[in-house]
Amino acid sequence: MVKEKTSMKKIIIGNLKMNILSQAERETYLGAVKKELAGKKINNAEIVLCPPAIHLESFGKVLGKKVALGGQNCFWEEKGSYTGEISPVMLKNFGSEYVIIGHSERRKYFFENDQSINQKVLASLKNGLSPIICVGETKEERQSGETMHVITRQIKEAFAGVAPGKLEKIVVAYEPIWSVGSDSIPTSNEIMEAKVLIQKILSRNFSQNMIQKMRIIYGGSVSVKTVGQACIESGMEGALIGRESLAPREFLKIARIING
């Protein structure tokens, strides 16, 4: 296993998905986030919120530097006739530092594949965004013993053409699809095995030193109750959080546990 670099900041990412439907809801949500952040120091971890793109600018204005922002997806082209798509340049200009790429819901409902995910990874890096690359197996793949095979394929393809110097900008989220939106999580050993595997695959093309600088986090049903098993005992560098990010109190509680 690649030796841990202890100085690396952990990262807690809230994926708000297609929620927060109005300005009023947004104000309530942001008010609650500010209240939870007030007076509490989180020094060892970075907090990132990924709202629907329409809210990015307002999130930035209200939260300032306390929270980093990210998009939930971007297109691989920067500009032009691509109805409905969001450019990585737009994300950057409207306050994002991060962008989630290849979330299982994008793979499922919008037919994203390893190749388009790779194009999006390269486009986001080119435009100064840090991609949060999601990988993970379905329930069927898990049951037929294909987990390792699936992760290997997804990682290899997502990282094709990535320059070694960019590795420290990337976050990989191991998100078993059967765990997302459920209440089941893998054992801490299984999560640790996924991390070791990801590092091993990357070691074919990248130096140990580079790999140590890249954060590998866990996503799927992370809550105050599960974070110990999912992110701490498993040695992950943070969490990607869906449902619980809609409840600022719970989200910040999880952040403080990871912060240590």
Q: Which of 225, 131, 133 is nearest to 175 (CA)?
A: 133
Q: Which is nearer to ligand PGA, 69 or 222 (CB)?
A: 222
Q: Which is nearer to ligand PGA, 210 or 245 (CB)?
A: 245
Q: Which two tokens stand for residue 55?
A: 């809210």
Question: Looking at this protein, which amino acid is placed at residue 59?
Answer: F
Choose the stretch contacting ligand PGA; rule: CB under 6 A; options: 65-73, 89-97, 175-183, 208-216: 175-183
Radius of gyration, alpha carbons of the chain: 17
- Residue 246 CB, shortest distance to ligand PGA, in Å, is 9
188 backbone φψ class: left, alpha, beta (φ>0; ψ -120 to 50): alpha
- Residues of span 10-49 touching ligand PGA by CB under 6 A: 15
**If DSSP codes are grouped into helix, strand and coil, which group holds residue 101?**
strand
Apex CA 190: angle with CA 182 and CA 144, to 5°?
75
- Residue 17 CB, shortest distance to ligand PGA, in Å, is 7
Q: For strands 45-50 and 68-71, give the pairing.
A: parallel
- Residues of span 115-154 touching ligand PGA by CB under 6 A: none
Active site residue 250: no
Active site residue 103: yes
Pick the catalytic residue from 46, 103, 141, 250. 103
- Residue 3 CB, shortest distance to ligand PGA, in Å, is 28
Torsion of CA 104, 149, 231, 216, to 10 degrees: -80
Strand pairing partners for 172? 133, 216
Q: For residue 220, what is the DSSP state?
A: S
221 binds ligand PGA (CB under 6 A): yes
222 binds ligand PGA (CB under 6 A): yes
Distances (CA, A) of 260 to 9, 41, 232, 238, 253: 11, 11, 9, 11, 11
User: Which one among 242, 248, 252, 255 touches ligand PGA, defined by CB under 6 A?
Assistant: 242
Rounded Cα–Cα distance for residues 134 and 5 (Å): 22
Query: Residue 177: which H helix or E strand, with range?
Result: none
Pick the catalytic residue from 137, 175, 244, 250. 175
The residue nearest ligand PGA at its CB is 242
241 binds ligand PGA (CB under 6 A): yes
Choose the stretch contacting ligand PGA; rule: CB under 6 A; options: 47-55, 225-233, 241-249, 252-260: 241-249
- Residue 83 CB, shortest distance to ligand PGA, in Å, is 26
240 binds ligand PGA (CB under 6 A): yes
Choose the stretch contacting ligand PGA; rule: CB under 6 A; options: 18-26, 48-56, 119-127, 234-242: 234-242
Give the residue numbers marked as catalytic: 103, 175
Binding site for ligand PGA (CB under 6 A): 15, 175, 180-181, 219-222, 240-243
